[in-house]
Structure 1
Amino acid sequence: MAVPKRKMSRASTRMRRAQWKATPPTLVKAIDSNGKVTYSLPHRAKVVEDSAGTPLFMEYKGRKVADV
Structure 2
Amino acid sequence: MPVPKRRKSRANTHARRSQWKAEPVTLVKTIENGKTVYSLPHRAKVVTDSVGTELYMEYKGRKVADA
Q: Mark yes or no: TM-score above 0.5.
A: yes
Q: CA deviation at 1:62?
A: 2.5
- Write the letter of the residue equivalent to 1:35: G
Report what 1:37 is aligned to.
Answer: 36
Q: In structure 2, what is the Cα distance between the partners aligned to 1:53 and 1:9?
A: 58
Q: TM-score, normalised on structure 1?
A: 0.80
In percent, how many aligned pairs have the same letter? 70
Q: Distance in 1 between matches of 2:5 and 2:60?
A: 48
Take 2:4 and 2:64, find their aligned partners in 1: how far apart are those partners? 44
TM-score by length of 2: 0.81
Count residues with an aligned counterpart. 66
CA distance in 1, matches of 2:63, 2:14: 46
* Aligned twin of 1:9: 9
CA RMSD of aligned residues (A): 1.5
Runs of at least 4 residues off by over 4 Å: none
- 1:22 maps to 22
Residue 46 of structure 1 corresponds to 45
In structure 1, how many angstroms separate the alpha carbons of the residues matched to 2:28 and 2:5? 46
